[in-house]
Amino acid sequence: MRPMLKSASQLLRRRNYSSAANPERKVAILGAAGGIGQPLALLMKLNPLVSSLSLYDIAGTPGVAADCSHINSPALAKGFMGDDQLGEALEGSDVVIIPAGVPRKPGMTRDDLFNINAGIVKALCTAIAKHCPNALVNMISNPVNSTVPIAAEVFKKAGTYDEKKLFGVTTLDVVRARTFYAGKAGVPVNEVNVPVVGGHAGITILPLFSQATPASNSLSDEDIKALTKRTQDGGTEVVEAKAGKGSATLSMAYAGAVFADACLKGLNGAPDIVECSYVQSTVTELPFFASKVRLGKNGVEEVLGLGELSAFEKEGLEKLKGELKSSIEKGIKFAQSN
Which positions make up the binding site for substrate? Answer: 104, 110, 142, 176
Tell me which of 25, 27, 31, 197 binds ligand NAD, using CB under 6 A. 31
Does 255 sit near ligand LMR (CB under 6 A)? no
Closer CB to ligand NAD, 102 or 258, in the complex: 102
Residue, CB closest to ligand NAD: 34
Does 238 sit near ligand LMR (CB under 6 A)? yes
Binding partner selected for residue 239 from ligand LMR, ligand NAD, none, CB under the kind-specific 5 to 8 Å limit: ligand LMR
Contacts within 8 Å (CB) and 24+ apart, 178-187: 180/227, 180/230, 180/231, 180/234, 181/207, 181/209, 181/212, 181/216, 181/227, 184/219, 184/223, 184/226, 184/227, 185/212, 185/214, 185/216, 185/218, 185/219, 186/216, 186/218, 187/214, 187/216
Q: What DSSP string describes 42-108? A: HHHHT-TT-SEEEEEESSSHHHHHHHHHTS-SS-EEEEEESGGGHHHHHTT-SEEEE--SPPP-TT-
State how far the Cα of 101 lies from the Cα of 86, in Å rounded to an integer: 16
Does 172 sit near ligand LMR (CB under 6 A)? yes
Does 175 sit near ligand NAD (CB under 6 A)? no
Binding partner selected for residue 174 from ligand NAD, ligand LMR, none, CB under the kind-specific 5 to 8 Å limit: none
State how far the Cα of 37 lies from the Cα of 57, in Å rounded to an integer: 9
Does 120 sit near ligand NAD (CB under 6 A)? yes
Tell me which of 44, 77, 113, 196 binds ligand NAD, using CB under 6 A. 113
Does 248 sit near ligand NAD (CB under 6 A)? yes
Q: Which residues are catalytic?
A: 200
Positions touching ligand NAD (CB under 6 A) are 30-31, 33-37, 57-59, 99-104, 113, 117, 120, 123-124, 140-142, 144, 169, 172, 200, 246-249, 252
